[in-house]
Amino acid sequence: MLQLTPQRAKPRKRYRLAKKNCIKENMNSNQSKYTKDFLERSHKGCFCNKQEILQGELCGCFFCCETSLPTEITEWIVERDNLGETAICPKCTMDSLLSSKYPITDETFLKQMHEYNF
């Protein structure tokens, strides 16, 4: 019986990391509209965002690149240590929603967020 060893699994992990880094490098070299720093800071907005999302009129998902009304959200993740609640996209069920505090109506922003984070 063939057994997988940790050594065999490592190249795949390195490949995924290399691929992700390659995407990030390509994004930076293509004169992106939004900076890497802004995209990284924006990503933090998808965590413990219930209050921020409910206060806005619209929210945007950077996984499916769609916008939704906050009233459409039916699922929330309760984060450990009672840090808050994270919204789940009503269209794709990913935890990648941002509030209207971010430029979510700009399709380029959502696409760049998707490329950078996935």
Residues 99, 102, 104: CA angle, nearest 5 degrees: 80
- Report pLDDT digits (tens) over 23-41: 444 454 456 899 999 999 9
Radius of gyration, CA atoms only, the chain? 17
Greater pLDDT, 88 or 17: 88
Is the CB of residue 88 less than 8 Å from the CB of residue 95?
yes
Is the CB of residue 73 less than 8 Å from the CB of residue 59?
yes
DSSP secondary-structure letter at 82?
Answer: G
Average pLDDT over residues 11-25: 41
Greater pLDDT, 81 or 19: 81
Q: What is the per-residue pLDDT for 32? A: 81
3-state secondary structure of 39: helix
Is this model's pTM higher than 0.85 or not? no
